Each structure stands twice: as C-alpha cells, then as structure tokens.
C-alpha cells in the first residue's frame, strides 16, 4: 500500500496543483480552443456593434411618454434592408454627421398627403389611429404631399408647442434604422 503524503492528498484529492480548477474555469480544459472562441466572440461583437446595432441616448422630451429623456436604446441598422419603414415605426434619422440624429415616429409614407387638423393626423384626408399617442395635441397644418422617397416623421409628445417640435419630411437615405423598445 502506497504511503500518502498529507501535503499532496487531502480527502482523496490531489492537492499538488491547488489552483488547477481555477485555470479550468478561466481558460477551459483546452486553452487554445478557449482563445479561438474568445477571438470569434470579440470579432462578432465588433461587427454587431459597429455595423448592425447603434447605441443612442435620447435627449429631450419630443418622444415622451414612449421614450424618456436620457434613456438609452439601440437602433437596428439592418431593419430596412429588405423593406422600407412602416407607419408607426420609431426610426433614427441622421441630420449632420454620425453623431447628431433624431428619434421620431413614421406617420406618413411615400406618396401620401399628411395634414394636422385640431391635433388629429390626417393621411390622404382620413384620420390616423395612433394608439401610441397619449398626450393632447392642438396642431393645425396644411396638407403636405410626400415624394416617392420621403417619409413624414414626428415625435410622440405633441402636447409641446408646434414651434418647439422638429418634424416633417425625411428622405429614406437619412433614415438609419429602427429602434428597439
């Protein structure tokens, strides 16, 4: 019967490598495979956050109550790869450069006529049902015809005075993507 060294054996386990379990937890049983997995994960994260998802922070109250001031969200840049924005989508619109963008809701599609009458949105003369619109509005704007590549965008907080609110036509080329709620 072999003699047991109390320093190396404790409760039947080999203690000659006391931190072997830590190495396995951190690097796996095969460190080379773990490093390859880590490199692939870093590459995927780089691609996703550089080209697919855009991190934005809402500044201002024009999208209340749907999006709070100073809240953070992601914009999916690939959302409109196969189709254009749909009515009701909340989109990110590039103004100048890559750092200044607006977050607005699409209410008018290409070729439509958009107007406001006593706070109601009229699309081609018919009232638009807007379940996301929670605040009262009293805007009045004459009909505006959209071009073949234009969308009409506006914020959800229409209780703001019309003069303080940025809204109107947005060309398709300026729409970056659709937000995740």
Residue keyed to tokens 């095969």: 30
Catalytic residue among 32, 50, 62, 145: 62
Catalytic residue among 71, 104, 173, 181: 104
Residue 90: alpha-carbon gap to chain centroid = 9
159 catalytically annotated: no
Q: How many CB atoms lie within 10 A of CB 110?
A: 14
Q: What angle do CA 34, 36, 41 make, to 5 degrees?
A: 95
Question: Mapping DSSP to helix (H, G, I), strand (E, B) and coil, where does residue 33 land?
Answer: helix
Question: Mapping DSSP to helix (H, G, I), strand (E, B) and coil, where does residue 161 land?
Answer: coil
16 catalytically annotated: no
What are 168's two structure tokens? 């109107």
What are 132's two structure tokens? 């996301």
Distance CA 99, CA 31 (A): 40
Residues with catalytic function? 62, 104
């Amino acid at each position: 019967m072999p003699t047991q060294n109390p320093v190396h054996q404790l409760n039947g386990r080999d203690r000659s490598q006391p931190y072997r379990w830590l190495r396995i937890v951190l690097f796996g049983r095969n460190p080379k495979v773990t490093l390859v997995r880590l490199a692939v994960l870093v590459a995927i994260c780089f691609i996703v956050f550089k080209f697919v998802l855009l991190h934005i922070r809402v500044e201002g109250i024009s999208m209340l109550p749907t999006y709070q001031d100073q809240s953070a969200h992601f914009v999916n840049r690939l959302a409109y790869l196969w189709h254009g924005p749909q009515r009701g989508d909340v989109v990110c619109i590039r103004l100048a450069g890559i750092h200044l963008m607006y977050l607005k809701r699409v209410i008018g599609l290409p070729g439509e006529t958009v107007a406001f009458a006593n706070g109601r949105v009229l699309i081609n003369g018919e009232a638009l049902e807007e379940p996301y619109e929670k605040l009262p509005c009293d805007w009045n704007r004459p009909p505006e015809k959209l071009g073949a590549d234009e969308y009409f965008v506006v914020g959800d907080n229409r209780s703001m005075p019309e003069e303080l609110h940025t809204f109107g036509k947005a060309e398709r080329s300026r729409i970056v993507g659709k937000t995740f709620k």
